[in-house]
Chains A and B, each alone.
Chain A
Amino acid sequence: MSDAPLPADQQNALVPVTVLTGFLGAGKTTLLNHILTAEHGRKYAVVINEYGELGVDNDLVVDADEEVFEMNNGCICCTVRGDLIRILGGLMKRRGKFDGIIIETTGLADPAPVAQTFFADEDVRAKTRLDAVVTVVDALNIQQTLKESPEAHQQIAFADVMILNKTDLVDEAKLKEVEDTLRTINAFAPIHRARKSDVKLTDVLDRGGFDLQRVLEHMPDFLENPAHHHEEDLSSVSLTVKTPLDAGKFQMWISALLQEKGADILRTKGILNFEGQPDRFAFQAVHMMADGNNIGPWKDDEPRESRLVFIGRNLNRPQLRRGLESCAVA
């Protein structure tokens, strides 16, 4: 389902959109206000949900309704945020007024429809790019929340960046334990510790493909021996192939895989080394909706290998590995 990739320069002209998720009371609005009031010389348009409990002080604030729509393209998990399509379309008519867009979701929201909106709608795709899903986690309460709420699992699985907030309320041992819990669900998103959402802005904004690359470069090896967990739980799988991949074979394999297992595979991301291509290819998918683009040439000192990660349920690691390896050029 992925269209022709956008050239790199066109990709850069797209307005970056940051999505803030996190359970009720985790500190999303505090983080939002922290971003907006910091001295960065940038202007952000902010999309907030109507149940936001704290005020947001910004010139350009739009209320969202969180209207989740199903697409008519035959895949059951393909939902988008209808209101966001309208809001982003409206904002892009006033392109000169801001440098980026921040979307705050309600605490109970599943991030999938928000993320899928950036794949599914042609106008949103043409003018904006999903920079990162930033998930704010309350260090004190998250383990309890995870027991009670499937949405909290989804929010962590979808994160490109996790902010472990309220670290002053728990001790170091507990923090380690929480980090391990987060890692079993999402092994790839960097975790930044914070007290009152006081993170470095560079940790949450303008992450883009750079982040994906950095994360994949520093992919921890412990993933190769994942701790046992229940099948219905969310987990991560990472794969590396040193032989260059055949772009056509990869496209066929990943399309078929996502078509069949897309309901269980929440996110797929990778930096791929296609045979005969000077550029690295960044691939990403949300459930069944995939997208990709060239992100510039390989550096001299980096290994030319393909890395692909999956976050989801019922991930069969040997099967995924065999599938990816079958895409290598003969």
Chain B
Amino acid sequence: MSQTLNLRGLIEKRGASRVIDGHITGCAASRDNQRFAFTTAEGDVIVAHRGDLTDAASWPTYAVHDGSALTIAPDTDPHGFLTGGDDGRLCRIDMHGEIEELGKTRRWVEHVISYVDPKNAYIAASSGKQVELRDATGRTVLKTLEHPSSVTGIVFDGKGKRIAASHYNGTSMWYTQSKSDSVRSLEWKGSHIGIAIHPQGEALITAMQDNDLHGWRLSDGHNIRMSGYPTKVRSMSFSSNGKWLATSGADVVVMWPFFGGGPMGKPPTELPGAGGALCTSVAFHPQQEVVAAGFADGTVLLIETPTQRVLPVSLGGNGPVSALAYSADGCMLGFGTEEGLIGLVDLAAA
């Protein structure tokens, strides 16, 4: 099944890649930054250990879901991962590769996210119109949040106090700790297909079916509209300082300013692209003003946003980049493509 690609860029000296069977649907690093995992449309999870980062053949594969694995997030514990699938199962895969089924619904589990701080930890998973908020172990459902239509994205705010879900005709925000189930509905007509929240809680942004972004300033609910994309925006990522929102959906990386009154009435910054290929995935570095971007031709770049300097991570890949993520320490960057290429690079200073 293996196929060799002649990849160029950082991945040659500081990383490794492999082509596996199946469209790559997601990737994530564990909270201890020691493992990096990829999910596939065949239901598999491939886990790379940092110690074996450059030995792609040694990364083990676990058959976790029947049908596609749709989503992956770091577990609340330092070592493992959480995945959801078409089979309606929410699973944990621990540091030993043991798989635990945390939940099973009749519907697909499309999104799973987790939040950890020294006092609180949560896991949330969406399935159809419902979002289940679970405790740190994932074994207890704290509350089930009902939405008017299928949930298309979920996100915790930066402090774990609120969780927001996107769906048809808007978003719903819920308090994680509140005993009551009061919801703040932020409405905007149309189909919202993805969600991101400003790291300091200033705004909630959704991607829309109609090739643009919508947003709400959370202080007063003021509507924000960001348009001009030739395609749907599938991927959004805020810089850690909250100054920029990087987005896919155009043939360059489009970044909206969230300072100096922006993004209202401000044009976005267009970072370099990959020679006309559509940008399909973006991920901001967890601390620095550097954004990773994946493109429809398989190219993965690092772009330093203040200088717009470009560092190629992987050139000569195959298929649109469909998964892209940093580890929380910013030292590992992983990506996957629709054609089953998975790659991982070590960005730590040598």
Please name all residues of chain B whose beta carbon is closer than 8 Å to the beta carbon of A94 when the two chains form the complex. 22-23, 41-42, 68
Please name all residues of chain A whose beta carbon is closer than 8 Å to the beta carbon of B25 when the two chains form the complex. 93
User: A69 at interface (Cβ–Cβ under 8 A)?
Assistant: yes
Q: What is the bound-complex CA distance between A228 and B41, given in angstroms?
A: 55
Q: Which of B170-217 contact A (CB under 8 A)?
A: 189-191, 208-210
Q: Which of A72-96 contact B (CB under 8 A)?
A: 72-73, 80, 82-83, 85-86, 90, 93-94
Q: What is the bound-complex CA distance between A71 and B212, given in angstroms?
A: 12
Could you list 10 examples of A-B contacts with CB < 8 Å? A63-B107, A71-B209, A72-B189, A82-B150, A90-B70, A90-B108, A93-B22, A93-B25, A93-B41, A93-B68
Which of A82, A83, A121, A122: most chain B CB closer than 10 A?
A: A82
CB < 8 Å neighbour of B189 from A70, A86, A121, A122: A70
User: A275 at interface (Cβ–Cβ under 8 A)?
Assistant: no
Q: Known contacts being A72-B210, A93-B25, A94-B41, is A83 close to B86, with CB within 8 Å?
A: no
CB < 8 Å neighbour of A65 from B128, B152, B210: B128
Please name all residues of chain B whose beta carbon is closer than 8 Å to the beta carbon of A122 when the two chains form the complex. 231-232
Residue of B nearest to A121 (CB): B209
Q: Which of B217-249 contact A (CB under 8 A)?
A: 231-232
Taken residue by residue from 104 to 142, chain B's Cβ proximity to chain A (1 for < 8 Å, 0 otherwise) reads as 001110100000000000000000100000000000000
The answer to whether B41 touches A67 (Cβ under 8 A) is no
Residue of B nearest to A122 (CB): B231
Taken residue by residue from 22 to 57, chain B's Cβ proximity to chain A (1 for < 8 Å, 0 otherwise) reads as 110100000000000000011000000000000000
Residue of A nearest to B211 (CB): A122
Q: Which of B61-86 contact A (CB under 8 A)?
A: 68, 70, 86
12 further A-B contacts with Cβ under 8 Å, apart from A69-B209, A82-B149, are A62-B86, A69-B168, A69-B190, A72-B210, A73-B210, A85-B209, A86-B150, A90-B86, A93-B338, A94-B41, A94-B68, A122-B232
Interface of A is mostly: mixed
Give the tally of cross-chain contacts (CB within 8 A): 56
Q: Interface size (B, Cβ < 8 Å)? A: 26
Please name all residues of chain B whose beta carbon is closer than 8 Å to the beta carbon of A69 when the two chains form the complex. 168, 190-191, 209
Residue of A nearest to B149 (CB): A67
The answer to whether B128 touches A93 (Cβ under 8 A) is no
The answer to whether B42 touches A123 (Cβ under 8 A) is no
Q: What is the bound-complex CA distance between A300 and B42, given in angstroms?
A: 48
With both chains docked as a complex, state the minimum distance between the C-beta of B189 and any C-beta of chain A, in angstroms.
Answer: 7
Residue of B nearest to A60 (CB): B67
Please name all residues of chain B whose beta carbon is closer than 8 Å to the beta carbon of A83 when the two chains form the complex. 150
7 residue pairs, one from A and one from B, having the closest CB atoms: A93-B41, A93-B23, A72-B190, A72-B210, A69-B191, A94-B41, A82-B191
Residue of A nearest to B148 (CB): A67
Please name all residues of chain B whose beta carbon is closer than 8 Å to the beta carbon of A67 when the two chains form the complex. 149-150, 168
The answer to whether B68 touches A72 (Cβ under 8 A) is no
Residue of A nearest to B106 (CB): A63
With both chains docked as a complex, state the minimum distance between the C-beta of A95 and any C-beta of chain B, in angstroms.
Answer: 8
Please name all residues of chain B whose beta carbon is closer than 8 Å to the beta carbon of A82 when the two chains form the complex. 149-150, 168, 191, 209
With both chains docked as a complex, state the minimum distance between the C-beta of B293 and any C-beta of chain A, in angstroms.
Answer: 20
With both chains docked as a complex, state the minimum distance between the C-beta of A64 and any C-beta of chain B, in angstroms.
Answer: 11
Please name all residues of chain A whose beta carbon is closer than 8 Å to the beta carbon of B191 when the two chains form the complex. 69, 71, 80, 82
Please name all residues of chain B whose beta carbon is closer than 8 Å to the beta carbon of A65 when the two chains form the complex. 128, 150
With both chains docked as a complex, state the minimum distance between the C-beta of B251 and any C-beta of chain A, in angstroms.
Answer: 15
Q: What is the bound-complex CA distance between A260 and B37, given in angstroms?
A: 52
Q: What is the bound-complex CA distance between A63 and B87, given in angstroms?
A: 11
Which of B41, B70, B150, B232: most chain A CB closer than 10 A?
A: B41
Q: What is the bound-complex CA distance between A73 and B210, given in angstroms?
A: 8
Please name all residues of chain B whose beta carbon is closer than 8 Å to the beta carbon of A73 when the two chains form the complex. 210
